[in-house]
Structure formats: structure tokens, C-alpha cells
Structure 1
Amino acid sequence: MTKSFTLVQLRYFGAVAKLENMTAAAAELNVTQSTLSSALSRLEQELGASLFTRLSSKGLRLTPAGKRLLLGSQAFLEDAELLYQSVRDEGEALAGELVVGIYLPLAPFKAPVILQAFETAYPNVKVSFHEGDQESLRQALLDGVCELALMYDLGVGPEFERRVLERIPPHVLVSAEHPRAAAPEEPVSLLDFASEPFILLDMKHTREYYLDMFKRVGISPLVRHKVSGYETVRSYVARGQGFSLLNQRLLHDSTYAGGAVVPLRIIEDLPPIEVSLVRPLGAKPTKKSMAFEQICEKLYGHES
């Protein structure tokens, strides 16, 4: 027997899922809380599944069934809106909101460029970026917080599908005062830095990637500082606290704390990081997210 639910119920559900609070969602939708609660109850009855776990002090959390509905309903609601526009002969210009996850160290490099290109092509779509580390982005995708994420391949398992945009090799980063900085065009070996203090970008999955570089050449790094900020790593290096390994390169060598850094190519054949667009496996993408993917491909898609 075909189940019957309404677009209004799905929209109400989406608002509550986003805000995780019934009162806040009712205010955003401009309906009474009793109306909202009644609509969600009917939706749960029609689907035969509980969509939220009620937490007395922390609001609402999606159940596994709720997460599946959220992933599927976004594209469904967008198709309904486009159908409405076509019937009214308003065209099918993309509109609405799109939340995209982005890995924190990538955000300063990629987000402004992508946002400018996307807003030029699709001025009626409001894009917001959800910044986080690899692990929090994985969870945000599975929870339906964002439809897709621009992130590294690190820790991305078979529950996701991804499209590789770039492959970026690691490089050694030293202070402009370091002896090796005098010849920045000459490649270096990690073995040359075995006795020097190391500044580690300490984020889950990222830290394991960098530490694995040393294992591959048979040495253990002398970790002096563990920091979670990309610019903090660069500033520590510039001030002579040690060397580091990074992938993304800035267009300039200056740092927030003063001083400069110099990137050096590594002679060893070490695995690059893959910058990828990641989605939950099997989730139907909205047209807005596919348009975002096409913009990213146009800007950065140099790899197949």
C-alpha cells in the first residue's frame, strides 16, 4: 500500500532536523509548536518509524531512519519546487540553500574562490560552508548536516562516494632562516631532518598521514609541538621552532607571527593527498549540489 505524506510535512521535518529544536523550528517556519509537532507525528505514523530521539536537555536527534529520510528528502523537495516553477512558467533557476562541508585547512584556499564563482552562476542559491576536521565532516555528511563536502581522502570509507579534484604531494616547510632555504629549488630528503624538531598538524586522520611519511623512510620524527591550526604550523616554523610537512601551498611565504617560510620539494616518492568531493553513498544529490560539484570541477578538476 502506498504511503501518503505531504511536502509540508517533509519541509517541517527538514527544519526540525536542521535546528534540532522544536521551538526554534516552529519560529523559523512561522507556525505554532503544536502544529509542527502534530505534522511530525503524522509523518512518523505514515512512515511507521520514529524520526527523532527526544532528549530532555539537548533537544532532538535524528534516528537512523530520520537520517535516511533527510538524505532522500532534500532532492525530493528540490524537484517539487522546480516542478512548481515550471507549471507557473517561472523557469527552473536554482534557488534555496545549500550547505557544503569543507575541511578547515582547505577553507582559506578554496571557499572564497568557489563561492564567488558559484554565486555568479547561481545568484539565487545561498551557499554556506560547514567547516570541520575530517572526522567531524564525515559525521556531518552521515547526519545530513551537509549534502557534500570538500575534503581530503583521509579516513573516507566505503560508506561514501567521492570525486577526486586534485592530488597534492607533501612538501617540507622550513623557516626562511633555515640553511636549506638558501636553495629552495633543490629537493630535500626527509632523512636530512631526522635530528630536527618537527611541528605536527595534529588533526585526526591528518596526523596519521604525516606521521606515516616518516615511517616510509624509516625514521621517527622528533615532535616538538602538536597544533591544530594550519597557520599556527606555518608561524611556528617561521619563528624557528622546527620544520613541518604540509600539502597546500600559499601564494606568499609570510606568516601571521612575522617571519617567512620556504616550501621544499621532497625527493622521496611519498603519497599525495587527494582533495575530493564526498557524498554519502546512495544519497540522491540535489541539483544545487550537482551545480556546486560542476563549479569545483571547472576550477580544480585537473585529475580524473
Structure 2
Amino acid sequence: MELLQLKYFQVVAKHEHMTKAAEELQIAQPSLSKTISRLEEDLGVSLFQREKRQIRLNAHGKLFLKRVEKIFTELNEGKRELLDLSRNTEKSITLAVSISRLLPSLIQSFRQEHPDVRFQQFLESTSSMKTELEEGQIDFCISSLPVEGSDIVWEPLMTEEICLIVPPGHRFAGTSVIELQDMKDEAFISMNTGYGFRDLTDRFCREAGFEPHVAFEGDEPGVIGELVKQGLGIAFIPEIALLNQRGRFPHKLRISHPDCKRTIGIGWSTRRYLSPIAIQFKEFVKNYFAEVARELESVRD
């Protein structure tokens, strides 16, 4: 069994189509078919279900694919580690987040201490972050919902309240605390379906006994806030988003019931090699959010 055979198998499994796989690998289709057949002979089992010109991974193929992907992940991580040790790579950190509000401040603060570090950052859903961690595409994720997996560690950083903001002149604009059930007939301005914050706030509404009427969906928290100010609806907002900009959202309501809170955490894969600078960043993130938690506590008091 050779690595080339395993690579060919991985690509065929991805496409479940010999012609498309051959095109990606830039080899002749008959040669690819023979390679896959030899691999199956070596293993003593078939890996695909073949029906005319269609092929599908069978149970053996799906099981074997998981092992093959782990092999290539380990090889890629070994290469990254060797390059890092030989100091032939620039310092870089790849990060996926479901919380965009604090990201610029967090990264700016870290780069003040480490100006030579390059960041790649992505705004992702929780499910996408899990896949990227498992496939070794990112170093860390910072999310408002736990990211779980057999090789994934998710460590809580801080817990904050989720509040509501309402437009000027709203019937509750002069109120400081409400029950969420009082808002069941309101138009909500929300994050897009699939994002962790949207999943969380939808769950809060269901706990309060209703499904939210979503009048507008988007993926830019700043835009959502502006739409609220224009009177187009109300919106959930995390405490963390109110830091240093309380003047923009003077009509903030705390929610007495249900208990509307979220826990922000950082996740990483134990299978991915973390460079020394990535390990430093992880510790920096923990200290950064601990300071934010203290600041929020002082504001509440």
C-alpha cells in the first residue's frame, strides 16, 4: 500500500466519480481505476459500490476514508511542525470566530506585542468551525456555543448576559428590565440562521413560549444595530457589544426571564500542531477575556 494510492482513493471518495477525480489529479482515468482496484486487492475488500458508471463509497470505504484522512492530517501537521522548527515559515495564526465584535480589538492588542504575526480570520457557523478544526484548517475557534468532537478541546473564557435593544419611542424604551415573553409580538432583527448567536437567541424565545417573528436577517452586527435605531424592529445584543458604545444604544433592556446568557469559549484540535506563537496567543486570549469579564462586572455594579 502506497501513499499515492491513498491520495487517489481520497480524491475519488470526495467526488464519487472517476472522471472528475482523474481531472483533479491530472491523470488518465484508466490508470486511476487500476490504482483503486489494486488498493482494494491489497485490502481484501471493495471500497466502492459500482453501478454502471456510478460509484458510491460503501461501508468499508467510509470507514477506511476516516483512517486515510487522519493519515494525511498527521503528515501535514508533521510538515508544519518541521517547517516551524527550521524557522522557514512566517509567524501566522488561523482563527475562526462566531463573535466578530471583539475580534479587531483582540487581534490589535496581540499584535502590539507581536507585530510580526500574520492572522487569517473567518466568520463561521459552529458546524463549520467544527469541520475546520477536525480537518486541521484552523488553529483556533472562538465561539458562543461549545464546539464538540473527539479530538477537540473547548475551554470556556467568560459568561455574559444577552440583552435587548429597542428603538427610540418604543413602549419599553423607558424600562430597564423586562420578561422576554412580553416581546412575543415584536419584529426581531437577527443574525442569519446557522450562526451560533442566532441559534442561541431562538432558543431563548422558545423557552419564553414563542417563535420569534424575524423581520430582517443579516450577518453584520453593526447593521442590525442601525436598523433598530431606525425603528424597524428590536434585537438581541450581547453585553460585550455594548462596551465603550453605550451611547449608541441607550434603550437597552435586561431580561429577567428566561436566563439569557451565553458562554464564550476557545476551541482547538489536539491533533493539530500549535506553534509557539499560537500557544502564546491562546494564553493571551484567556487573559484578554478575563479582563473583559472584570470590566463587564464593574459596569453591572
TM-score (norm 2): 0.66
Out of 205, 219, 232, the residue aligned to residue 228 of structure 1 is 219
CA gap of 1:66–1:285, structure 2 versus 1, over 3 A, is farther
Matched, 1:141 2:143: no
Correspondent of 1:101 among 90, 96, 99: 96
Once the two structures are TM-superposed, the CA of residue 261 in structure 1 deviates from its matched residue by 5.7
Query: Which residue matches 2:11?
Result: 53
User: 1:295 & 1:94 partners in 2: Cα distance?
Assistant: 22
In the alignment, the residues of structure 2 paired with residue 224 and residue 231 of structure 1 have an alpha-carbon distance, to the nearest angstrom, of: 16
Unaligned segments of structure 2, at least 5 residues: 26-64, 294-301
Report how far residue 182 of structure 1 moved: 2.6
Flag the structure with larger Rg. 2
Counterparts of residues 227-266 of structure 1 (less than 5 Å): 227-247=218-238, 248-250=240-242, 251-252=244-245, 262-266=251-255
1:190 is matched with: 180
Residue 207 to residue 116, structure 1, CA distance change in 2 (3 Å): closer
Deviation, 1:213, is 0.9
Aligned ranges for residues 110-125 of structure 1 at < 5 Å? 110-125=102-117
Find out whether 1:170 has 2:127 as its counterpart. no
CA–CA distance in structure 2, aligned partners of residues 136 and 83 of structure 1:
30
Query: Is residue 161–residue 280 contact of structure 1 (8 Å, CA) maintained in 2?
Result: yes
Tell me the CA shift for residue 293 of structure 1: 0.5
8 A contact 2:204–2:258 mirrored in 1: no
Q: Contact 1:71/1:284 (CA < 8 Å) preserved in 2?
A: no
Q: Measured at CA, do residues 297 and 289 of structure 1 come closer, stay the same or move farther in structure 2, by a change above 3 Å?
A: same
Which whole-Å CA distance do the structure 2 matches of 1:73 and 1:110 have between them? Answer: 34
> In the aligned structure 2, how far is the partner of 1:82 from the partner of 1:202?
38
- Could you tell me which amino acid in structure 1 is paired with residue 70 of structure 2? R
Q: 1:254 deviation in Å?
A: 6.9
2:178 alignment partner, SS class: coil
Q: Structure 2 residue aligned with 1:80, among 56, 79, 82?
A: 82
Q: Does 1:201 align with 2:201?
A: no
Q: Which runs of 5+ in 1 are unaligned?
A: 1-41, 86-92
2:137 maps to amino acid: V
Name the SS for the 1:180 alignment partner: coil
- 1:251-293 CA distances to partner (integer Å, 9 max, x unpaired)? 32577xxxx5632111124242221111235444332321110
- What are the Cα deviations for residues 192-247 of structure 1, in whole angstroms up to 9, with x where unaligned? 22232222323314333212112222233333333333223212211112212222
Which one-letter code corresponds to 2:218 in the other structure? V
Q: Which residue of 1 aligns with 2:142?
A: 150
SS of equivalent residue, structure 1 residue 233: helix
Mapped partners of 2:77, 2:155: distance in 1: 19
What are the superposed Cα offsets for residues 69-93 of structure 1, whole Å, 9 maximum, x if unpaired? 56445653454346546xxxxxxx9
Contact 2:179 2:258 in 1 (8 A): no
Structure 1 residue 162, shift from structure 2 partner: 0.7
- Is the 8 Å Cα contact of residues 74 and 271 (structure 2) preserved in structure 1? no
> Against the structure 1 CA distance between its residues 117 and 228, is the aligned structure 2 distance closer, same or farther, given a 3 Å change threshold?
closer
Contact 1:173 1:245 in 2 (8 A): yes
Secondary structure at the counterpart of residue 149 of structure 2: coil
Cα separation, partners in 2 of 1:222 and 1:80, compared to 1, 3 Å: closer
Please give the alpha-carbon distance, in whole angstroms, between the structure 2 residues aligned to 1:227 and 1:246: 14
**Cα distance in 1 between the residues matched to 2:102 and 2:214:** 29
**Contact 1:196 1:242 (C-alpha < 8 Å) held by counterparts:** yes
Structure 1 181/279 Cα, relative in aligned 2: closer, same or farther at 3 Å? Answer: same
Alpha-carbon contact 2:83-2:89 (below 8 Å) kept: no
1:234–1:261: 8 Å Cα contact kept in structure 2? no
What is the Cα deviation at residue 171 of structure 1?
A: 0.7
Q: Is residue 75–residue 286 contact of structure 1 (8 Å, CA) maintained in 2? A: no
User: How many Å separate the matches in 2 of 1:77 and 1:162?
Assistant: 25
- CA separation in 2, counterparts of 1:228 and 1:180? 26
**In structure 2, the residue corresponding to 1:301 is in which secondary structure?**
helix
Match of 2:50 in 1: none
Which amino acid in 2 is paired with 1:76? G
